[in-house]
Amino acid sequence: MKHAIILLLMMSVLAVYSFRISACAAGPGKPAECETKEEQGMGPMTKDSKDFFSTEIDDAVWTRIYGKSFKKDCTVPREELRYLHILHKDIDGVIHEGEMVCSRIIAEDLLEIFEGLYEGGYPIEKIRLIDEYDAEDESSMADNNSSCFNYRTISFSRKLSNHALGLAVDINPLYNPYVKTVNGRENVEPANGKPYTDRNSDFPYKLTEGDLCYRLFTEHGFSWGGHWKNSKDYQHFEYTGNR
């Protein structure tokens, strides 16, 4: 009797399993749990991880960035950009979800970099789409938001920034400002980052040559704005391809 009951249960489980296989192979109208990430509208996955992954720019993300970071005169094809989902830890070790748009050229590199920063406990306060700040670079930096793609020119120039191509990343920009002397006057971006221009001082979120962030970015072919001669951009890494 006992063996008969066990056999009956096994046959029931097999029947359910067979039904699910048939349903998942049935095409349109199959159960949602059978659908791939692409079929659920999340875009094609390029890294198999629930926390660190990239997708093409789907309609939901497009709606958020068009007319903001993706200006109406933007010459970068939508297909050349990627949306990143990552995790990061703040100075207190609290875990946050992060979002970033970048060039497809560096998407996999950035996933590896940010996963390394997360695992190493490197503190990053915020990683939000700059579109939450209406793509205003000053506002985003002043809030210490780390970001990448924004179709804009270099400060005090008409030349497109590497951010416009999705090939540059700013990390903890409030505490690692951009400093340039213009017409004999020191210009600091963001303006509230002026107290952090003294790189001999100690303060949270300070990015330094040789730290984990610097090492990971440079190992993946990025150069650091802290090495520039005519200005200093302590927050800034841009892709050169040199490893």
CA-based torsion, 62, 65, 68, 69: positive or negative: negative
Position 21 pLDDT exceeds 90: no
Q: What confidence tens digit (pLDDT) does each residue in 174-204 have?
A: 999 999 998 899 999 999 999 999 999 999 9
Position 216 pLDDT exceeds 80: yes
CA atoms within 13 A on the CB side of 14: 6
Position 1 pLDDT exceeds 60: no
Query: For the chain, which residues make up each domain, given as ranges?
Result: 1-35, 37-239
Quick check: pTM over 0.85? no
The winner for highest mean pLDDT among 40-54, 152-166, 200-214 is 200-214
Rounded to 5 degrees, φ, ψ at 40 are -85, 5
CA distances, 200 to each of 63, 188, 223, 235 (Å): 43, 17, 22, 16
pLDDT on residue 6: 42
Position 39 pLDDT exceeds 80: no
Pair of tokens at residue 99: 């979002």
Consecutive H or E run containing 189: strand 185-189
DSSP lists the bridge partners of residue 54 as 84
Q: Higher model confidence: residue 193 or residue 36?
A: 193
Virtual torsion, Cα 32, 35, 38, 41, nearest 10 deg: -10
Question: Which whole number is the average pLDDT over 218-222?
Answer: 98
Return the ∠ at Cα 92 (arms to 94 and 214), rounded to 5°. 95
